[in-house]
Structure 1
Amino acid sequence: MNKMTKEILIGFLIGVIANLAGSYLYIYFFSKETLEKTIQYSIEQDVLGNIIALGAILNLCAFFIFLKKNKVYRARGVVLATVLAALAILVSKFL
């Protein structure tokens, strides 16, 4: 595995983790129910995509931190993770 691919993969993993952490933080601070109940309710009410989108806000922070540190390939990985989140939102809305 070359250096570029490794850096993109690191950025992708950080982007996915940041999105999951952002979604968890949103549920933790704004939901009165447990994590499991909130996710079940959001699936039933078809708002899971909204929670994923709000969780992606942390990807913006990671993206700009990587750009500031001149880690362009890691920033590309974060963008790739954001595209994956957008596809997850698309699937949750239409399926």
Structure 2
Amino acid sequence: MKNKNIIIGIIVGLVCSIVGLILVLLFFGKGNSLNDSLDIAINQGVFTKLMSMGAILNLAAFFLFIKQNQDSKAQGVLIATVIVAIATLIIRFI
């Protein structure tokens, strides 16, 4: 049961990061569409910064799970945040 909750937390964390990235691209993107904004961000080298900003939604999910005493799911969100951070570092330095 605990492993299932951790996996749910990881999925919630990754989905929050993706939704956050989309929202950041919509608000701060310079293109006319989501794809244009994504292409511009990659070409200008700011994609990893936008990716990091998108992970801020994980804070809301993490504290929501903590408040509801669902520590295993909160642990999963924390793991997802670390996964996003490692992916950001890999993308940044490759």
Q: Distance in 2 between matches of 1:38 and 1:31?
A: 5
| 2:30–2:40 CA contact under 8 A, matched in 1 | no
8 A Cα contact 2:29 2:38, kept in partner: no
5+ residue gaps in structure 2?
A: none
Distance 1:66 1:51 in 2: 25
RMSD (Å), alpha carbons: 0.9
| TM-score, normalised with respect to structure 2 | 0.93
Q: How many residues are matched?
A: 93
- Alignment partner, residue 66 of structure 1: 65
- Consecutive unaligned residues in structure 1, runs of 5 or more: none
Q: Does 1:83 align with 2:57?
A: no
Q: Is the 8 A contact 2:6 2:76 kept in 1?
A: yes
| Cα deviation, residue 40, structure 1 | 1.3
Contact 1:23 1:52 in 2 (8 A): yes
User: What is the TM-score normalised by the length of structure 1?
Assistant: 0.92
Identity %: 39
Alignment partners' CA distance in 1, 2:5 and 2:64: 14
In the aligned structure 2, how far is the partner of 1:49 from the partner of 1:57? 13
Runs (4+) off by over 3 Å: none
Q: Indicate conservation of the 8 Å contact 1:46/1:92, yes or no.
A: no
